[in-house]
Structure 1
Amino acid sequence: MEAPNRSNPKVQDRDFLQIVLAESNSTISEPIVAELGKDQHRIVRCANLQETNRAMDSHVPDLLIIGNLEDSSCLEVFRECAQKFQNLPIILLCHTLEVNQFFKDWVVAKGGCDVMSGSPTKLHLLRQGLQNLMGRDQSVEPAQAAPAPAKIQEPAPPPAPASKPASNLPSPPPPLPKPPQAIAQNAKPAPKEPVKAAPIPTSSPGKSSRFQQTLTYQQTLAALNEISEISLKYFGGLVIGNYWKKAHKSLTAEHLWLECWSVDHTGVISFVSQDIPQENLTERQFESLLLWVKGFLKECDRIIADYIELLRQSNPSEQVKQIITNL
């Protein structure tokens, strides 16, 4: 689904936009300011939530662009501003080359204008999107082709002579039926479906097993931090850290093994010891891990419904796939 082309009637008679850009990373915001400055847009850069609120309260801009804020979730800022400034076009930035279509559809459904890449190689698309927002398409258009000359009406051909009545034509002989032997030779037997082999049990007889296999400790550590890294596209590091910690705290009383893992304030997960075990998790430990990840995703779901679908579409590693498949 394409984002709607929402032109802003306030700027129809102006050649520039007044923009608030909320982005903590200067390596992202500076190229955006330089690119949009080519069209003389007036941009207020905000590096945190406090500066963004101050800029929005002093003067409502023509456009709000929200990237990643270290001290807040960009989606929380988007939701609050969309409610407070209902006619304000809002564009969300992602820090990847390609925009996740599921996320884009979700933002547009919630009242956003668009989701665009903040990558330096994609900034020309952001600039063109702002031109469309102003109701002007300043991109170079191909020259219009000259209209084709009118087609000369040719005279209709003379009518063909009437054919002889069908009754005077001899009827074609009926086709000869194929001999039964020929039919039997041409007929192909229906393909037989291959017989599926019975699955090999992964546990001893009499003991049920939910999982084909579990992860090693090292794979678990890598998978958890990969989930955090993917989530940085949609939440700030502080928010991700809080979500992991909240889910962790609610489970450690009944799942003591989870105390072997810790989360810092930016969402980076580590093992309690530098000498990480080499063996696989037990099934009970893997169950505890799944509950922890499920609790984290539940917190993310409060902002983006069905957040697990974003994880599936982000081309995760096999270890992350193994976790989310068993949730």
Structure 2
Amino acid sequence: MTTTNQAQTAVEKLAPLILQRADPHIYRHSDGYYYFTASVPQYDRIEIRRATTIAGLAEAAPKDVWTKPDSGPYSELLWAPELHFNEGAWYVYFAAAPSRDIKDDLFQHRMYCVRNQNANPLEGEWEFMGQIDTGIDSFCLDATTFTHKGQLYYLWAQKDKEIRGNSNLYIAPMSNPWTIAGTPVMLSKPEYDWEIERFWVNEGPSVVKRNGRIFISYSASGTGIEYAMGLLWADENADLLDPASWTKSKEPVLQSCLEHGIYGPGHNSFTVSEDGEGVMLVYHARTYTEIIGDPLWNPDRHTFVKPLRWDDQGMPVFGRPSIA
């Protein structure tokens, strides 16, 4: 390989897949398409795009499938939508805040979902299914779902007024894709130094199953350069609703890399490689540190994708941001 080609390859490895899309979620469906959704900088709508390859998502035309109402309890700050195919229909789970002075009362989000029963989620009608009631009336966000041994689970971040910080991680079984059936169980709270920089946060959980274990990645701390990812794991035959079944890494598994110029990696999802064998890590990050104002309102959190590696013990190796 020539020096020019080597330099070009290095740049491609560092380049975002999609610009200005935070909280990215990529799902490969049985129809052969990859589906992508994420927070848009305006926080005002849900968009979906699809392509037959991961790289193709960058050029795929996004379609706005749901737009926030002008007022009401879910009319501001649509955050972190995730598209899932559960029990024969498409669902998007998202956080939204009520219409009020959001600058003075920012963290008032609750979780909601919409449903589309068409085979192609870019077509058909999206039906508002309402709030996902966790039984806890407090700030919550970043829900995901996964099925294990025939049971659908809901996994999300929520504030407990008795615990210091913005949010902890919870899990609960579901009776259907929009209803929790059971008492929420807390799996993790901010406790290590790298989880409490600027804000005390555990959020953005995502699930990957491999090597006889279930892994939950999550993000911690503020949304600037300090943002980093952690990991929980449990045996696939364990009781997932028992906190004792889960082990938590004491160190972050992915964090800012000054050498590569990638900062604040986090709020990831996992998808399948195009050969169907590997796992791809999808996450957002910034490419500079000098952020003016609140990092939350900065639009330059970009979507990155890289392969997830595995060590001899069957544990995931996240490596450094944007380097394969």
State the TM-score, normalized to the length of structure 1.
0.20
Higher strand share: 2
The structure whose Rg is larger is: 1
Higher relative contact order (CA 8 A, sep 6+): 1
